[in-house]
A and B are shown apart, each in its own frame.
Chain A
Amino acid sequence: MSTTGNARILDRGYRKFDGERLGVGSAIRSTAWHTTRSIFGLGRKARHKIFPMAILGITYLIVVIQLAIVFFFGSNDAGFLTEDSWAMVAPAIVMILFAALVAPDAIVRDQKDGMYSLYMSTPLTKPTYLAAKTLSVAGSILLITFGPALLYLLGKTIKGLGPDGIGAWFETFGRLLLACLLVSLFLCAFGLAFSCFTNRRAIASIVVLLAYVGTNIPSWILYEETNIGKNILLINPIETAYEFGARLCNAESIVNEYSAISTSMVTLGFFAWLIATCSIITFIYRNREAI
Chain B
Amino acid sequence: MELITVNELSMQFGQHRALDSVDFTVHSGVTGLVGANGAGKTTFMSIALGLRAPTIGSIKVLGLEPVVDGAKLRSLVSYGPERNILPDEMPAVDFVKHLAEVRGIPRKEAKTRASDILWLVGLGEERFRPIGTMSTGQRQRVKLAQAIAADPQLVFLDEPTDGLDPLARDEVLTLIRQISEEYGIHVMISSHLLEEVEQICDNIVILNAGKLVAAGQLDKLTGESTGLEIELVTVDEHPNSIEDVERALQQAGLIVQREPESAILRIPEGAPELLPDLVRDAVADAGARLKRLEHRRRNLEDIILDVPS
Give chain A's interface residues, CB within 8 Å of chain B: 11-17, 19, 21-24, 26-27, 30-31, 34, 43-45, 109, 112-115, 117-125, 128, 290-291
Contact = CB atoms under 8 A, between A and B. Distances in A.
Main secondary structure of the interface of A (DSSP, over half): loop
Contacts of B146: 118
Contacts of A16: 151, 183
Contacts of B71: 24, 123-125, 128
Contacts, number: 108
Contacts of A119: 102
Given A24-B71, A114-B81, A290-B46, A122 B51 contact: no
Given A12-B116, A15-B116, A125-B70, A120 B51 contact: yes
27 contacts: A12-B116, A14-B117, A14-B120, A15-B116, A17-B113, A19-B106, A22-B104, A23-B104, A26-B104, A27-B104, A30-B107, A34-B98, A43-B90, A43-B94, A109-B87, A114-B81, A114-B83, A114-B87, A118-B146, A120-B49, A120-B51, A121-B79, A122-B103, A123-B72, A123-B102, A291-B42, A291-B46
Contacts of B116: 12-15
A226 to B, nearest CB: 45
Contact of A117 (B72, B75, B83, B106): B83
Interface of B: 42, 45-46, 49, 51-52, 70-72, 74-75, 77-79, 81, 83, 85-90, 94, 98-99, 101-107, 109, 113, 116-117, 119-120, 146, 148, 150-151, 156, 158, 182-183
A15 B113 contact: yes
A22 B105 contact: yes
Given A21-B103, A120-B49, A291-B46, 17 more contacts: A13-B116, A15-B113, A15-B116, A19-B109, A21-B75, A43-B90, A44-B89, A113-B86, A114-B81, A114-B85, A114-B86, A124-B71, A125-B71, A128-B71, A290-B46, A291-B49, A291-B158
Contacts of B52: 290
Contacts of B72: 123
A126 to B, nearest CB: 9
Q: When A and B form their complex, which 7 residue pairs have the shortest distance between CB atoms, in order from nearest?
A: A21-B104, A121-B79, A17-B151, A290-B51, A114-B85, A30-B101, A113-B87
B105 A291 contact: no
